[in-house]
Amino acid sequence: MKIIFVILFIANMLHGAEINPKLYVGEPTELNMYYTQMQQALEKITPMDETSKERLATEKLLLLKLQQLTKYKPTTITFNHDFLNKESIEQEPFLQLFNHISKTLEKRQNTQKNRLTIQEKLSFLKHRIENLVETKKENLRLYQLQFAYYKLMQMRDEAFIKYSTTIINEGQELIKLNLNNVKFNTKKNKIDLEKTDEKLKKIDTKFIALNLTKERELLSSETISPKLELNFKQNTQLKNNTLKVYFDNLLLLALYEYQEKHIDLLLTKQQEMRNVLTNFSEEDELYTAKYLLLKNISGSELDSIDSIDSMMFTIKEKIETMYDDFRAYIKKPLFIYDENPILASNILNAIFIIVLGFIIAKIYHKQFIKLHNRRKDMSTISIKVIANFGSTIIIAVAFLIAISSMGLSLANFAVIAGALSIGMGFALRGVVSNYVAGIVIMSEKNIRLGHFISIDGTFVGKVMDIGLRATVLRSIDNTHFIIPNSDLIEKSVLNLTLESRVRRIYVPFKIAYGSDIKKITKLIVNAVNGATHIKILREIEGRKPNIWVHNMGESFIELELFVWIEGYRPSTKSNLLILIHETLIAHQIKMPYPQLDIHLKKPQSGKLLSKNFLGETFDK
Instruction: Give the pLDDT score at 3.
Output: 43
Mean pLDDT of 147-160: 90
Q: Cα(116)–Cα(457) distance, rounded to whole angstroms?
A: 65
CA 432 from centre of chain? 21
Element (H, E) at 151: helix 140-178
Instruction: Give the pLDDT score at 289.
Output: 92
* Percent of the residues in the chain that have a pLDDT greater than 90, as a whole number: 13
The band of 5, judged by pLDDT with boundaries at 50, 70 and 90, is very low
For residue 606, pLDDT beyond 60: no
Mean pLDDT of 471-475: 88
CATH class of 441-495: mainly beta
For residue 198, pLDDT beyond 90: yes
pLDDT tens string 219-246: 887 788 888 889 999 999 999 999 999 9
Q: In the predicted model, what is the mean pLDDT of the chain?
A: 80
Q: What b/e string do you get for 252-282 counting C-beta neighbours within 10 Å, with b at 16 or more? A: bbbbbbbeeebbebbbbbbeebbebeeebee
Helix axes 380-405, 410-427, angle to 10 degrees: 130
pLDDT tens string 91-103: 888 888 899 999 9
Give DSSP secondary structure letters for 295-359.
HHHHGGGTT---SHHHHHHHHHHHHHHHHHHHHHHHTSEEEEETTEEEEHHHHHHHHHHHHHHHH
Instruction: Give the pLDDT score at 237.
Output: 93
- Three-state DSSP at 451 gives coil
Q: Among 264-268, 397-401, 410-414, whose mean pLDDT is lowest? A: 410-414
**Cβ pair 330, 343 in contact under 8 A:** yes
Q: Among 64-68, 108-112, 127-131, 607-611, whose mean pLDDT is lowest? A: 607-611
Mean pLDDT of 296-301: 74
**CB 301: neighbour CB atoms within 10 A?**
14
Phi, psi angles (nearest 5°) of residue 502: -90, 130
**Strand pairing partners for 494?**
454
Residue 119's closest CA among 326, 342, 297?
Answer: 342
Mean pLDDT of 305-325: 55
Mean pLDDT of 12-35: 79
Q: Among 320-334, 410-424, 505-519, 569-583, whose mean pLDDT is lowest? A: 410-424
Q: Which amino acid is at 406?
A: M
Instruction: Give the pLDDT score at 13.
Output: 46
Mean pLDDT of 308-337: 59
Instruction: Give the pLDDT score at 502.
Output: 82
Residue 299's closest CA among 321, 272, 325?
Answer: 321
Q: Cα(4)–Cα(286) distance, rounded to whole angstroms?
A: 55
* Percent of the residues in the chain that have a pLDDT greater than 70, as a whole number: 80
C-alpha distances out from residue 415 to 7, 127, 410, Å = 9, 15, 9
Give DSSP secondary structure letters for 186-236.
HHHHHHHHHHHHHHHHHHHHHHHHHHHHHHHHHHHHSS--HHHHHHHHHHH
For residue 11, pLDDT beyond 50: no
For residue 156, pLDDT beyond 80: yes
For residue 496, pLDDT beyond 70: yes
Instruction: Say which residue, 422 or 456, is predicted with more confidence.
Output: 456
The band of 494, judged by pLDDT with boundaries at 50, 70 and 90, is confident
For residue 309, pLDDT beyond 60: no
Every domain of the chain and the residues it spans: 13-183, 185-304, 441-495, 502-586
Q: Among 265-269, 273-277, 465-469, 521-525, whose mean pLDDT is lowest? A: 465-469
- Judge if 441-495 and 502-586 fold alike in CATH terms: no
Q: Cα(508)–Cα(506) distance, rounded to whole angstroms?
A: 6
What predicted TM-score, i.e. pTM, was given to this entire model? 0.56
The band of 413, judged by pLDDT with boundaries at 50, 70 and 90, is low
Residue ranges in 406-484 assigned as alpha helix (H) = 410-427, 429-443
**Strand pairing partners for 465?**
472
Instruction: Give the pLDDT score at 117.
Output: 85
Instruction: Give the pLDDT score at 6.
Output: 43
The CATH T-level fold of domain 502-586 is Alpha-Beta Plaits (3.30.70)
Element (H, E) at 481: strand 480-484
For residue 145, pLDDT beyond 60: yes
